[in-house]
Structure 1
Amino acid sequence: MDSLEKRNIKLTFNTALAKIQNWCAYQERSHGEVKEKLYEWNLYPSEVDQIISKLIEENFLNEERFVKAYVSGKFRIKKWGRRKIKQGLLQKKVTDKMIDSGLNTIDGDEYEATLADLAMKKFHLIKEKDAFKHKNKLITYLQSRGYETDMIFFVLKANNLYK
């Protein structure tokens, strides 16, 4: 919890603008995150709208840039699948159109290769002797990473992990 929230202090327009500009400059933010933060600072809805307009105008806030950075980071660094990335963006209150556009930036071959790499690594780490349970654990793991079930089966078959 923020110290401002504990004391229930209302920030002035200019102070809030300066603080939120610094916060947005630190890393890409979604419109929803910024709105939430401004409301935490007890600003009026009209002030929140003015600040958001100013942030967009000054290029501190750009939803398309945020989505591309989020998708790229979650896929390349955390190795998340499309389903998990989409869920994360929905939680950040990003529109479906922006989500679809961001997910389309993921290269299909790279996506398949990443899934195959995760599957191979996990395949060898699972200690289960029963082949059916082994396969089930692997599929469950890959689904929890956000990969689509049909894509998982395709990759497992293509890499001869299961018949």
Structure 2
Amino acid sequence: MQQESFTVEQATRAIERYCVYQERCHKEVEDKLRKMGMIQLAIDEIIPHLIEHKFLNETRFSQSFARGKFRNKHWGRNRIVRELKLRKIAERNIKIALQEIDPEEYEVSFDTLSRKRYEQLHNEKDKYRKRKKLADYLLYRGWEGDLVYDKVKQLIP
């Protein structure tokens, strides 16, 4: 099966639609263009066009990503930072993105999530295994270690 080929103009229009649908980072756009079979020269022409016409903005992407992953998936700061770094987001934009998370909302979300997970572990009889499962779950979701271990001690004395 032969891959469909695009002109720079067609690829630009397609990627504009891709960016309008939801916020994207440079890495996602570049990966998409490569998948479309575009050469580096074309990519180097399309990406500046997207930035100039405000289809692509890493700061806006970072803020949206942090808000969404925190509110919808209940990720902690560590996981959000890790995922943004995987997408090659600049440190400056990561700092700006983390400011999108309200500290009080962060605490409430952490408390709610840990209590919910604690309730799900009611079948686990061994106190230490229960602690480990709760801690592992919260750490995987990117919550800070000191918060996690304090909460585990509080919920499972």
Consecutive unaligned residues in structure 2, runs of 5 or more: none
- RMSD of aligned C-alpha atoms? 1.6
> Does the 8 Å contact 2:134/2:152 carry over to 1?
no
Scaled by the length of structure 2, what TM-score is found?
0.90
Residue matched to 2:146: 150
Distance in 1 separating the partners of 2:152 and 2:126: 17
Distance in 2 separating the partners of 1:7 and 1:61: 30
Which amino acid is 1:129 matched to? K
Aligned residue pair count: 156
Consecutive unaligned residues in structure 1, runs of 5 or more: 1-5
In structure 2, the CA distance between the partners of 1:109 and 1:154, relative to structure 1 (3 Å rule), is farther
Give, in angstroms, the shift of residue 113 of structure 1.
1.3
Instruction: Answer yes or no: is 1:136 the counterpart of 2:132.
Output: yes
Give, in angstroms, the shift of residue 131 of structure 1.
1.5
Counterpart mapping for 1:1-150 below 5 A: 7-126=2-121, 127-150=123-146
Residue matched to 2:156: 162
Distance in 1 separating the partners of 2:37 and 2:135: 46
> Does the 8 Å contact 2:62/2:94 carry over to 1?
yes
Distance in 1 separating the partners of 2:136 and 2:31: 34
* Superposed structure 1 runs of 4+ greater than 4 Å apart: none
What SS class does the counterpart of residue 60 from structure 1 fall into? coil
Give, in angstroms, the shift of residue 20 of structure 1.
0.6
Distance in 2 separating the partners of 1:7 and 1:38: 17
